[in-house]
A = this chain, B = another copy of it.
Amino acid sequence: MLAVAEMTSHSSFPVGRNPASQRPQPATMQDILSQQPQRRLAPHEHLFHEGDRESNIYRIERGLVRLYKLLNDGRRQIISFRFPGDVLGSDTLKEHYCSAEAVTEVTLRSLPRETAHRRMKEEPGFTSEIIELLSQELANTRSQITVLNRRSAIEKLAAFILDLWRRQPKQPGAAKLLTLELTRTDIADFLGLTIETVSRNLTKLRQRRIINLPQVHTLVILDLARLEELAAGECEDW
């Protein structure tokens, strides 16, 4: 529900080599990305900063990236978290609207926008991939407005946890286990809350047996149905 290019799920693009021999012409953007060399970023390294003009299209292979914007008053609004498979930088504004920073160690591939533009003129399919990405991202961002603007702190948190869980690369065994690579500050800056409120409401969710927090950065979903109710704003009381 929260902003991300969901359509770029693992299954929707070939991670391996492009089978160029079979159909050499219609290479997709995902194909081309897969041919690019990998690059590594340490935690806190930036892919780009707000206002930068140089730009690439990136696809995250491993790790976690946050997109954020610094406000006048010094606070930070995190726009979205990006997971493996997610593409970023597909918009064509003159300058980057926000900054992108590695949260964990990150592996990614990138494609200079110039190259992308050249390919767009040759391959219409390439173009529609970008339009799809942008459309999806727009819908996700609008949806985020609804959550952030209308829901209580505990509902925001419920929605956030659900979203993380759905997007997280699943460990097959531990079905409802979630490894939070994020700090409470990250969560707060995304949801527009303070760390105290995040902490208090995590405690509430724990007291109500909806989640458990065996360690600070490990979260277990105990009652998925109730979490979904909360996230959808369908809980009248408490």
Contact = CB atoms under 8 A, between A and B. Distances in A.
Q: How many copies does the complex hold?
A: 2
Interface of A: 69, 71-73, 75, 77, 79, 91-93, 97-98, 120-121, 124, 127-128, 130-132, 134-139, 141-146, 148-150, 192, 232-234
Contacts of A232: 72
Contact of A138 (B69, B127, B138): B138
Contact of A150 (B77, B97, B141): B77
A92 B128 contact: yes
A135 B93 contact: yes
16 contacts: A69-B146, A72-B232, A73-B233, A77-B145, A79-B142, A79-B145, A91-B138, A91-B139, A92-B131, A98-B142, A120-B128, A131-B134, A134-B134, A137-B138, A145-B148, A149-B192
A142 B97 contact: yes
